């Protein structure tokens, strides 16, 4: 099918059938020994359920698909959580001393990616930005709306993804690595919205949780924790995330059930 590529904006090009989530995410979810249902949460208009259905849309030209693969996905899926349980990035973090650690018994640790040469900061940033942009650039939801509408930040992020500008200054990205647990493959597509002047979105996939915030007045803690602009490029390792991801998933499913009956 020919049309206008949403990323490079070139018209009358052959468009690829893009999935919302890259195929490698589906591959990395298989073979989890602790899996109940290994499929991602599919978000519909008013519910969420786990499904292997891979929604496709004609979004990008071949060149832009390659751009996403080369600039972000390749490194993330080489170093992320594999379906055999290995996780090169987590192994790298374990070999370094964290910059900060929660004083209580919790497992949250912060590392400075700038001091860890094995971490490809630009690839992780590019990958996360490309996923949130996908959630804003196409109405993936069955009710015809976008799951993570970036509003005025969609165009600056598109320009960043095209290599025309740097990462937008009013956007903050938090990168979190998930510690081993029975549900660290739990996946949901980028989901977000606006709370007054602040854009808040979250994306969970095997081994990672990404948060994206955008505002003309970003709260200082979000700026400090930003993987792109925060001092030392902070990256968080935590097992606490799992409970909040699971709780959110269960809530969505319960909401969906009530609607159905």
Binding region for Zn ion (CB under 5 A):
5, 7-8, 61, 64
User: Which of 5/222 has CB closer to Zn ion?
Assistant: 5
CB of 66 to Zn ion, least distance (A): 9
CB of 15 to Zn ion, least distance (A): 8
Q: 72 by DSSP, 3-state: which?
A: helix
Task: State the Cα–Cα distance between residues 213 and 200, nearest whole angstrom.
Answer: 5
Task: State the Cα–Cα distance between residues 92 and 80, nearest whole angstrom.
Answer: 11
User: Which of 43/64 has CB closer to Zn ion?
Assistant: 64
Name the burial class of residue 117, with classes exposed (0-12), middle (13-18) and buried (19+) by CB atoms within 10 angstroms of its CB: exposed
User: Which of 13/114 has CB closer to Zn ion?
Assistant: 13
CB of 68 to Zn ion, least distance (A): 10
User: Which of 7/226 has CB closer to Zn ion?
Assistant: 7
CB of 5 to Zn ion, least distance (A): 3
Q: What is the largest CA-CA distance in the chain?
A: 57
User: Which of 64/175 has CB closer to Zn ion?
Assistant: 64
Q: How many CB atoms lie within 10 A of CB 224?
A: 13
User: Which of 64/241 has CB closer to Zn ion?
Assistant: 64
Task: State the Cα–Cα distance between residues 78 and 72, nearest whole angstrom.
Answer: 10
Burial of 235-255, coded b for 16+ CB within 10 Å and e otherwise, reads: bbbbeebbeebeebbeebeee
Residue 202: in which H helix or E strand, if any?
strand 198-205
Task: State the Cα–Cα distance between residues 67 and 73, nearest whole angstrom.
Answer: 9
CB of 240 to Zn ion, least distance (A): 39
Residue 137: partners with Cβ closer than 8 Å, 6 or more residues away: 6, 7, 59, 146, 154, 158
Structure tokens at 109: 């640790």
Helix extents (H) in 82-189: 88-94, 121-137, 154-161
CB of 6 to Zn ion, least distance (A): 8
User: Which of 64/183 has CB closer to Zn ion?
Assistant: 64
CB of 18 to Zn ion, least distance (A): 11
CB of 27 to Zn ion, least distance (A): 24
Edge-to-edge order in the sheet of strand 56-61: 2-3, 13-19, 56-61
User: Which of 67/141 has CB closer to Zn ion?
Assistant: 67
């Amino acid at each position: 099918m020919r049309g206008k590529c949403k990323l490079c904006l070139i018209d009358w090009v052959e468009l690829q059938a893009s999935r919302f989530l890259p195929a490698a995410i589906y591959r990395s979810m298989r073979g989890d020994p602790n899996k109940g249902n290994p499929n991602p949460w599919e978000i519909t208009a008013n519910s969420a359920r786990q499904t292997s259905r891979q929604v496709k849309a004609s979004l990008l030209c071949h060149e832009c698909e390659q751009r996403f693969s080369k600039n972000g996905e390749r490194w993330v899926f080489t170093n992320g959580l594999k379906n055999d349980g290995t996780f090169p990035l987590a192994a790298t973090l374990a070999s370094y001393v964290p910059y900060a650690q929660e004083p209580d018994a919790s497992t949250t640790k912060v590392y400075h990616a700038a001091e860890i040469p094995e971490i490809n900061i630009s690839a992780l940033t590019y990958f996360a930005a490309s996923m949130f942009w996908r959630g804003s650039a196409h109405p993936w939801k069955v009710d015809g709306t976008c799951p993570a509408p970036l509003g005025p930040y969609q165009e600056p992020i598109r320009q960043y993804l095209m290599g025309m500008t740097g990462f937008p200054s009013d956007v903050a990205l938090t990168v979190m690595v998930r510690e081993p647990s029975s549900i660290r493959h739990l996946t949901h597509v980028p989901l977000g919205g606006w709370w007054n002047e602040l854009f808040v979105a979250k994306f969970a996939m095997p081994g990672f949780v990404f948060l994206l915030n955008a505002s003309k007045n970003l709260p200082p803690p979000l700026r400090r924790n930003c993987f792109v602009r925060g001092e030392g490029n902070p990256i968080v390792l935590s097992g606490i995330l799992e409970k909040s991801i699971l709780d959110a998933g269960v809530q969505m499913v319960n909401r969906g059930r009530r609607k159905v009956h």
